[in-house]
Every structure is written in structure tokens, then in C-alpha cells.
Chain A
Amino acid sequence: MTGFSSETARGAGAGPVDGRWFDAEAGPLVRPYAMTGGRTKPGPSGVRFDLIALVVVEPDGLDAAAESLLGPEHRALLALCRSETQSVAELSADADLPVGVVRVLLGDLLEAGHVRVSRPVPPAQLPDERILREVIEGLRAL
């Protein structure tokens, strides 16, 4: 049900380092925003990550040493993005973290230059007709 990624799972290398206690009834005893140091909004860049904004890892973003300095949740998100370009919604589901928490963590990664984030189509501006036709044909072919 919960499906923590391997990076954040108990005993998977990270061990007790991330200091979480689990209880089958209560769920994680860590309040969600403890993972973000109490921050509830992404950093100064003021980016608002849409649920379908796509997150891509910068290939030369960081080396192993730099990555080891990141928290387990940051690393978990990076690992998920490396396997495949992911939307914010998918990252939230796969990492089993609330969207708000994922947004703060992604803000950190963005500011540090570890990831790039695509802008979704702005409101009131539909993709062009060619794309819509492609979508219709793609749906028919499913």
C-alpha cells in the first residue's frame, strides 16, 4: 500500500539514519514537513510545480560525493527521475510523499541545479492542432 522507494525504506542502506519510526496503525511518526525542515513552500525561486510538470535530472548535475550530502528523500526523488522522466504527481505517488513535500524537495534540487523542470502548457493556451490530432490518433490506437 505505502510502497516506499528503496532509498527511504527501512534497512535499505539508509538504515536508521533517517531516524523514522514506523507503526502499522499510525503510519510514519514523522510529520510530513519535518522532511523539509519545516518549510512548506519551495525556496526563493518561487517556482510553482504543476502536478504534470516533468522533472528531468541534469546529466552532469552532481557527483556521488555531492549526492551523498543530500537527504534520503532528495536522493529518492533523484533516483526516480533517473529511471525515467517523471511528473510531479508520479514522484509524489512513487516516493509516497505528499505533493506539497515533493514540491519543496524539488525546489531544493532545482536551485542546486540537479534537475530541470518543464513548464506545463499555460492556461488558456491549448497545444496546437497537430498535437491534438496526434493525441486522438494515439487514443484510437490504444
Chain B
Amino acid sequence: MAAGEEPEQTALALKILVAGGFGVGKTTLVGAVSEIRPLRTEELLSEAGELVDDTGGVDQKTTTTVAMDFGRITIRSGLSLYLFGTPGQDRFWFLWDELSQGSLGAVVLADTRRLEDCFPAVDYFEHRHIPFVVAVNCFAGARTYGAHEVSQALDLERGTPVVLCDARDKDSGKEVLIRLVEYAGRVHTARLLDAVESRTGTV
């Protein structure tokens, strides 16, 4: 690097969320693609008490924690991708709000044997206009459905990609992430165009 460049200035970290029901393979997927063993970070529930209304009695307890597993992929020096497995239980939604802030997008992992487990995650990202792909983790022994069938069953908005995957497999996990980044780019471009059109349309 030539003198005078500012490598620190350009250091950029991007965040992708991995959501889905309990036991659907979120941490497995993070571990399959991460260059580091998935790390675990904990958030204290007492902080949670400040963010939600209904926590009578909880705010004094400082020892209760929620764990989040995460991994990292270094694209190049100064550009890395962080993958966060969101806490599975619905009562930890408040953590999702923080996690999703500034995120590139999300992967919603689904298991066709209990598809309903991923409904809350799909709703969450649709309502907040966060780009996401649905990755169907094809468990051995589970009947395989086509991407189209899953898309219909979830009543996804048009264009939301559905990918069949094996969360244990690195290449499969990579493919899911690539589809997400491509899709996030398309969504973003479309929004920019919409913004331009609505502006010129009113003139």
C-alpha cells in the first residue's frame, strides 16, 4: 500500500442475520461458512428490561443472559461479513431490532416438517422491508418440496428467493449467502429507482 492511503478509514463490516425456528440449523449454517469457530456473545436481560414494557421484576436480575452465536468471513483486508444467529425464542424480539439495524439482509432457515416455525421471522423481515431469502434446510428423511411450493406455503412477496440447502455444507451455505447479497443489491437498486421516479413523477 502506498503511503498516504487510509486503510483504517475504509474498514467495513457487514452484517447478515440468520433467523428461523429453534433447532432448524442456524448455528450449523453459521459454522459451515464461518472462517472462525462460531463465537458466542451474551446480552444481559437487564438491558432488555429497558427496551420492552412488560418486564416487571426482571430488571433487577443481572445474571440472566441471551446468547447469540456468530461467525465471520473475511472478504479482504478491511472488508468482512459477520453472520449472527438470532435468538430462537419469540420473547427476544427486542434483540432482533438491534441486530437488524444496518444489516445487509437476512437468511430465514426453514424446515418443511415444521414450516410454521419460520413464520415469525418471515413476518418480521417483511414488515421492516429487510431483504431476506428463505433457505430450506433439507434434513435427511424429510420429504423434499420444491422452492415454488415453499414460496406458496409461506405466501412470500413476489421475488423473495427460496433456496434449498444443506446447512452443514459449506458450498451450500455459500450459495445461500450469494443469493442473499445479489437479492439485497437488487432490492436496493429498485428502491433507489422508485425514489427517483416518484420524485420526477410529481414534477
A residues adjacent to B (C-beta < 8 A): 31-33, 40, 50-54, 56, 85, 87, 89-90, 92-94, 98-101, 116, 118, 120-123, 126-127, 129, 131-132, 134-136, 138-140, 142
Contacts and interface: CB of A to CB of B under 8 A. Distances in A.
B177 A32 contact: no
A50 B8 CA distance: 18
Contacts of B72: 87, 90
A142 B170 contact: yes
A126 B182 CA distance: 12
B170 A126 contact: no
Most buried by B among A33, A139, A140: A139
Contacts of A118: 11-13
23 contacts: A31-B63, A33-B46, A50-B101, A50-B102, A51-B70, A52-B14, A52-B82, A53-B13, A56-B8, A89-B68, A93-B40, A93-B70, A94-B39, A99-B41, A118-B11, A121-B12, A121-B104, A123-B101, A126-B185, A127-B104, A132-B185, A135-B181, A138-B81
Interface residues of B, number: 43
Given A92-B42, A129-B185, A139-B75, 6 more contacts: A51-B84, A56-B11, A116-B8, A132-B184, A135-B181, A139-B73
B105 to A, nearest CB: 9
Contacts of A94: 39
A85 B11 contact: yes
Given A138-B73, A142-B174, A87 B44 contact: no
Given A121-B12, A131-B79, A132-B184, A92 B41 contact: yes
Contacts of B174: 139-140, 142
Interface string B11-43: 111110000000000000000010000011111
Given A134-B75, A138-B73, A89 B181 contact: no
Contact of A135 (B42, B81, B99): B81
A40 B47 contact: yes
Interface in B91-105: 98-99, 101-102, 104
A29 B43 CA distance: 18
